[in-house]
């Protein structure tokens, strides 16, 4: 990936894939990126989620961000929202846990109980 042409080609490929995502309810990963989240490592966590999703070629999961939700001691906090299932909040997530959450929860549907701080 060196030039603008490469980026434009990737843009078209990405848009085509995203059309598929828009046609159905998608899974969402929401990371807390407030001041507390950032200080605790949320930037690396978002990066790890993006890398893991890209590596597995998963395009129907979106990664979004939210601010501080008031549980700063457990930051970085991550919500995994799968339509039709309870929203699961993981606490003290780091890059390695993020990759495991993708593999175990997002792909295989198994909640990683050890890191859960809340289930709604």
Identify residues 23-62 at the interface with another protein (CB under 8 A): 33-36, 38-39, 42-44, 46-47, 49-51, 53-54, 58-59, 62
Measured distance CA(105)–CA(99) in Å, rounded: 10
In angstroms, give the least distance from the CB of 2 to another protein.
Answer: 8
Q: Is 107 in the site for another protein (CB under 8 A)?
A: no
Interface with another protein (CB under 8 A), residue from 25, 64, 73, 87: 64
Nearer to another protein, 22 or 114 (CB): 22
In angstroms, give the least distance from the CB of 112 to another protein.
Answer: 20
Nearest to 119 by CA among 93, 86, 91: 86
Using DSSP's 3-state secondary structure scheme, residue 86 falls into coil
Q: How many residues contact another protein, by CB under 8 A?
A: 35
DSSP 64: E
CB 119 within 8 A of CB 86: yes
Q: Is 63 in the site for another protein (CB under 8 A)?
A: yes
Q: How many CB atoms lie within 10 A of CB 82?
A: 18
The β-bridge partners of 49 are none
CB 10 within 8 A of CB 42: no
Residues binding another protein (CB under 8 A): 1, 7, 10-11, 14-15, 17-18, 21-22, 33-36, 38-39, 42-44, 46-47, 49-51, 53-54, 58-59, 62-65, 67-68, 70
């Amino acid at each position: 990936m060196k030039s603008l042409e490469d980026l434009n080609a990737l843009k078209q490929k990405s848009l085509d894939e995203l059309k598929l995502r828009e046609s159905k309810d998608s899974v969402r990963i929401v990371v807390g990126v407030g001041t507390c989240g950032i200080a605790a490592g949320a930037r690396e966590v978002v990066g790890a989620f993006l890398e893991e999703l890209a590596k597995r070629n998963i395009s129907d999961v979106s990664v979004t961000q939210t601010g501080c939700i008031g549980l700063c001691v457990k930051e970085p906090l991550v919500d995994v929202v799968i339509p039709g299932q309870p929203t699961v909040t993981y606490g003290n997530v780091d890059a390695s846990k993020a990759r495991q959450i993708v593999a175990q929860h997002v792909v295989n549907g198994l909640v990683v109980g050890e890191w859960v701080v809340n289930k709604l």
